[in-house]
A and B are shown apart, each in its own frame.
Chain A
């Protein structure tokens, strides 16, 4: 066993005094049931107020957020799409696809974040509003991490472009500057605005030098004394060599030109060009990537990774991916300055800079309150073929483990179970068993829902589950006295035993009422009739009635006889069948031939001789026996008469 990575969290159950009382629990797929026990520790039973409730503890509470549901649903589509692109593509186009998928995921996070933000603003003061804003910050952290992972692991940016990506990353996530800029430019006299200089500095820190220059020109217009200095600084900003995407220059060329530019900045500082304006001088120091000058702007940088990127921009613009972690570590140390310790987010980002994917996922799993993020990120990184070698000591592999954890959260939810199915499908090793366990536990409230669950099972040839669902529905139908429905379900499940049971109910009802119910079904059984002997009998017996009703007596008679001789009819029903033969025997024309009459007689003798003699018959039984005896007598008489008539008829026919 590995050690715990963090202290397990304690959840208090309201109403339960854990000092005095004991609790018991039971695991569910995604939830846990907890209740108080009446167990006492052999002490004098104390009268402590007990808690009468059974509590359901859910571990994945984010699943229940209404806005996050959109995230789950929309990302489900992206996830399924990602599994499909899988093998077809290779090389460049594959990478482009994966980057696109990653961006799709991020845009879904952002959309969700924006909506959440609107809600948070709408009711700022209530508890739910605060909850929304904490969700917003979690989502924004998720997007920040995802974006960095996208740059480092999926895009795999080489030295040079790497810094451009990182700059975009910082600009995207430290975006207060846009509001500030609109604010300042909107004012009457921008250069006199109280935030003017912090705006200029922020622009420089983010490497938005064109905008910074425009700002400086405003200052130059307003303040002729510093116009010269502003122009010089502006020129420095303009001439800073940067890598542009379309450019063909090599990294060495860029480094050389950058070196020259750096020296020029240095010279201006040495010469004291900006000596008379401390603000411009500190800006120049920023351009030189001076750590101390940058740290002075701690407020504006707001976090260490911004500091890192700015520092790289002005001191190591062609940083190699492999060296990134060195700068990251020193930036973090410098920025925090020993005053505070790094937070989970810092650790996650640091792990990413160290290219330690597993550490990133591990830290995220601990820090975030849902499985959505790690499951999808891990899956995407797995598609980038970055996770092959890693095996866990539980489950099958990390991707599958996380996906299944996420899926089981979905299954625990009242309505999101349908999403969970696809996640299980794409876990080759344990997905199937996991799905089997979950799908059986979905409550089947309506037939419509049952049909959807059935479809899931049938598509995956989960015969055991199909049978169990059909059986549940058949049982329900029987309980509701819907025999037709029950029969349909047992036919669908190919459940012979249950079909027999339902057929018996039909026959019993027939014996009681003297007519069949649900003819529309029984008349249309078709090949399904062969499912069980009893069902076959039911169908054939009904056919006999139809033939009789249509006055096709000869056909009816031979069908009736064959039901008994072929042993399809249950013994207990023979008497009814023989009684049904009575009116046929009493018809004017002879219907049963002599041979058939002998068969009938044999059936009757079989039935009567097989009857055991009871010891002490009660009054009711005596009466029943009485009726029975009369019936047998009548039958015998009718059979004898029919035999006589048929012999005469057959004899005369042969004679003629």
Chain B
């Protein structure tokens, strides 16, 4: 079992995100952002797992992550995404979308841009309009797409004060998450088990395609797109099921995998090694799904040349044999289920694991038990 460091932080963590590495960098991730929820005062914070040059008595790294800086956030942090190296976009339960700017020199965060009331309700009960929680964000520089409980989709641009495009009543139920399929197409998941694909080139408020789980209408809470194959999408639902979809074919999932015992809050393909998938859930578990085949050339890749070169060798492997391995891993139907190896990453079950993020060999997750877990040796 790899080493996992836990730190209690006195706030319930709703989101954790690694800061992206500069393109072409061979470093491992060392800074991540967190957002808190359900506290009287909520914060967006930046943490570092860098060693700061101080080694402990054994000569090893001090495993704890240290707080770099934090800033108060109005309302629960519902979603958090890095826009670029310095900017973080946060979604609030007050319907506000805020862009925070990190100044690495003096270690502070400041508000650089804000769209208040990006999401709101208009109803007979409320005098004019009341705020609706913004539930999901996805960034693709310079665009930011947000979705909310009001069933609205907003398209923002970092340099525009107003929304570039708004689709009112895009969904009759709550939208829970959003991801880019391929620009300018986005995919949303909602609370009645539907995936909808939207194309910003088209006018009007209709999705271009609707996919759904038949019958049960189980709410979907999270979605992630395969990093290399843009038509492969993974979603997680209220019943803890993991569904893999091929948006090119049919309106039903390619495979449904029994996973957690309660809501799956997040699902992530490993960005550079997409045979690996990570999920976390309300039941307090964090799982690593390994769909890579057992072929000798594969297994040797992970251990070849020691830990430091793992990251590098993965990226090479992706370019080399990305095609066969991927099609056979997530989209192949029946036999795939037997080959997927699942490991649980957290030692003992606690309260809900709300969020996770993976980058290179590093994983971070945050829980309702107010702890942040970090490991830097995912594949060791």
In the bound complex, residues from chain B placing their C-beta under 8 Å from that of A446 are 76, 78, 93, 133, 149
Chain B residues whose C-beta falls within 8 Å of the C-beta of A428 in the assembled complex: none
Q: Does A278 contact B (CB under 8 A)?
A: no
For the complex formed, measure the closest distance between the CB of A546 and the CB atoms of chain B, giving whole angstroms: 15
Query: How far is A519 from B171 in the complex, measured between Cα atoms in Å?
Result: 9
Residues of A within 8 A of B214 (CB): 526
Binary flags per residue of B195-221, CB closer than 8 Å to A gives 1, else 0: 010000000000000101011110000
Instruction: Check if A74 is an interface residue, CB within 8 A of chain B.
Output: yes
Contacts A451-B263, A524-B194 given: A415-B174 contact, CB under 8 Å?
Answer: no
Q: Which of A452, A483, A488, A521 contacts B352 (CB 8 A)?
A: A452
CB of B45 closer than 8 Å to a CB of A: no
Q: Cβ of B10: which chain A residues have Cβ within 8 Å of it?
A: 66-67, 69-70
- Given the interface contacts A415-B38, A418-B368, A451-B263, does A484 sit within 8 Å of B173 by beta carbon? yes
A228 within 8 A of B: no
| Contact status of A479 and B124, CB under 8 A, knowing A447-B133, A488-B192, A521-B192 | yes
Question: Which A residues are CB-close (under 8 A) to B11?
Answer: 415
- Provide the A483-511 mask, 1 if CB < 8 A to any CB of B, else 0: 11100100100000000000000000000
State the Cβ distance, B194 to closest chain A Cβ, in Å: 6
Chain A residues 353 to 408 lying within 8 A of chain B, measured CB to CB, are none
Residues of A within 8 A of B215 (CB): 526-527
* Contact partners of A517 in chain B: CB under 8 A: 169, 172
A73 touches B172 (CB 8 A): no
In the assembled complex, which residues on chain B have CB atoms less than 8 Å from the CB atom of A419? 351, 369
| B85 is an interface residue with CB less than 8 A from chain A | no
Indicate which residue in A77, A478, A518 contacts B348 across the interface (CB closer than 8 Å). Answer: A77
Report Cα–Cα, A447/B38, bound state, in Å: 12
Q: Mark A268-309, 1 if CB is under 8 A from B, else 0.
A: 000000000000000000000000000000000000000000
Are the C-beta atoms of A484 and B172 separated by less than 8 Å?
yes
Q: Residue A414 at the B interface, CB < 8 A? A: yes
Least distance between B175 CB and chain A CB atoms (Å)? 11
Using known A-B contacts A445-B93, A488-B192, determine if residue A480 contacts B132 with beta carbons closer than 8 Å: yes
**CA of A67 to CA of B9 in the docked complex: distance in angstroms?**
9
Contacts of B93 in A (CB 8 A): 445-446, 448
Q: Render B42-85 as a binary contact track against A, CB cut-off 8 A, 1 for contact.
A: 00000000000000000000000000000000001010000000
B259 to chain A, nearest CB (A): 15
Which residue of A76, A414, A448, A451 contacts B40 across the interface (Cβ within 8 Å)? A414
Question: Which of B122, B173, B348, B351 contacts A418, CB < 8 Å?
Answer: B351
Answer whether residue B296 sits at the interface, using C-beta atoms and an 8 A cutoff. no
Question: Does B28 count as interface, using CB distance less than 8 angstroms?
Answer: no
Contacts of A418 in B (CB 8 A): 12, 351-352, 368-369
Give A72's nearest chain B residue, CB to CB: B370
A80 to B215, CA, bound (A): 37
Majority SS of interface residues in chain A?
helix
Q: Is A482 an interface residue (CB 8 A)?
A: yes
A81 at the B interface (CB under 8 A): yes
A528 at the interface (CB under 8 A from B): yes
A391 CB to nearest B CB, Å: 33
> CA of A66 to CA of B39 in the docked complex: distance in angstroms?
11
Q: Which residue of A lies closest to B216 (CB)?
A: A526
Which chain A residues in 420-462 approach chain B with CB under 8 Å?
445-449, 451-452, 455, 459
Q: A414-B39, A480-B121, A480-B125 in contact; A73/B8 too (CB < 8 A)?
A: yes
Cβ-defined contact, A481 with B172, below 8 A: no
Q: Which residues of A contact B263 (CB under 8 A)?
A: 451, 455
**CB proximity of B66 to chain A, nearest CB, Å:** 14
Select from chain B the residue with minimum beta-carbon distance to A479: B125
Which residues of A lie under 8 Å from residue B135 when comparing CB positions?
447-448
Complex partner residue of A76 from B171, B172, B369, CB under 8 angstroms: B369
Q: Is the interface of B mostly helix, strand, loop or mixed?
A: loop
Q: Check A488 against B191 for contact (C-beta < 8 Å).
A: yes
Closest chain A CB from B150 CB (angstroms): 7
CB closest residue in chain A, given B12: A415
Asked if B99 CB lies within 8 Å of chain A CBs, one says no
- For B132, B217, B368, the residue with the greatest tally of chain A CB atoms inside 10 Å of its CB is B217
Contacts of B38 in A (CB 8 A): 414-415, 445, 449
Q: For the complex, what is the distance from the CA of A446 to the CA of B93, rounded to whole Å?
A: 7
Q: Smallest Cβ distance from B190 to chain A, in angstroms?
A: 8
**Nearest-neighbor residue (CB-CB) of B9 within chain A:** A70
Cα distance A422–B151 when bound, in Å?
A: 34
A597 to chain B, nearest CB (A): 37
CB of A3 within 8 Å of the partner chain: no
Chain A residue contacts of B368, Cβ below 8 A: 418, 452
Q: Which residues of chain A are near B169, meaning CB under 8 Å?
A: 517
Collect the chain A residues with CB atoms within 8 Å of residue B362's CB: none
Chain B window 341-380, contacts with chain A (Cβ cutoff 8 Å), 1 for yes, 0 for no: 0000000101110000000000000001111000000000
State whether the Cβ of B282 lies closer than 8 Å to any Cβ in chain A: yes
Binary per-residue interface labels of chain A (526-539) against chain B in the complex, 1 for a CB within 8 Å, 0 otherwise: 11100000000000
Residue of B nearest to A483 (CB): B172
When each residue 261-286 of chain B gets 1 if its CB lies under 8 Å from chain A and 0 otherwise, what string results? 01100000000000000000010000
- The answer to whether B125 and A415 have CB atoms under 8 Å apart is no
A88 contacts chain B at the CB level, 8 A cutoff: no
Contact of B174 among A70, A485, A524 (CB under 8 A): A485
Residue of B nearest to A442 (CB): B38
Flag A124-150 by CB within 8 Å of B: 1 or 0 each.
000000000000000000000000000
Q: Does A520 contact B (CB under 8 A)?
A: yes
Residues 528 to 559 of chain A near chain B (Cβ within 8 Å):
528
Residues of A near B24 (CB, < 8 A) are none
- Considering only CB atoms, which chain B residue lies closest to A414 in the complex? B40
Q: How far is the CB of A181 from chain B (nearest CB, A)?
A: 20
**Contact assessment for A488 and B173 in the assembled complex, using a CB-CB cutoff below 8 Å:** yes
- Inter-subunit contact A415/B172 (CB<8 Å): no
Chain A, residue nearest B213 (CB): A524
Of chain B, the residue at the smallest CB distance from A481 is B123
B237 to chain A, nearest CB (A): 12
Residues 153-185 of B contacting A (Cβ, < 8 Å): 169, 171-174
Contact with A along B88-120 (1 / 0, CB 8 A): 000001000000000000000000000000000
Question: How far, in angstroms, from A446 to B95 measured CA to CA in the complex?
Answer: 11
Shortest CB–CB separation between residue A517 and chain B, in angstroms? 7
- C-alpha gap A73/B369 in the complex (Å): 6
- Contact B173–A485 (Cβ < 8 Å): yes
B115-145 residues with Cβ-Cβ distance < 8 A to A are: 121-126, 130, 132-133, 135
* A80 proximity list for chain B (CB < 8 A): 350
A449 vs B173: C-alpha distance in the bound complex, in angstroms? 16
Return the chain A residue nearest B349 by Cβ: A80
- Nearest B residue to A422 via CB reads B351
CB neighbours (8 Å) of A484 from chain B are: 151, 171-173, 192
A455 in complex: contacting residue of B124, B262, B348, CB < 8 Å: B262
Interface residues of A in 555-587 (CB under 8 A from B): none
Question: Would B210 and A520 count as touching, CB distance under 8 A?
Answer: yes
Query: Are A520 and B39 touching (Cβ within 8 A)?
Result: no
CA gap between A524 and B215 in the complex, in Å: 8
- List 12 additional A-B contacts (Cβ < 8 Å) besides A77-B350, A452-B368, A485-B151: A415-B39, A418-B368, A419-B351, A446-B149, A448-B78, A448-B93, A480-B123, A482-B121, A485-B173, A488-B217, A520-B192, A524-B212
29 A-B pairs within 8 Å (CB atoms) are namely: A70-B9, A73-B371, A76-B369, A77-B348, A77-B369, A446-B93, A447-B174, A448-B76, A459-B262, A478-B125, A479-B124, A479-B125, A480-B130, A480-B150, A481-B123, A482-B149, A482-B151, A482-B172, A485-B172, A485-B174, A517-B169, A519-B172, A520-B171, A520-B172, A520-B173, A524-B192, A526-B214, A526-B217, A527-B215
Q: Which residues of B contact A (CB under 8 A)?
A: 8-12, 37-40, 76, 78, 93, 121-126, 130, 132-133, 135, 149-151, 169, 171-174, 191-192, 194, 196, 210, 212, 214-217, 238, 262-263, 282, 348, 350-352, 368-371
List the 9 closest pairs (A to B, CB-CB), nearest first: A484-B172, A479-B125, A518-B172, A480-B121, A481-B123, A70-B8, A480-B123, A69-B10, A521-B172
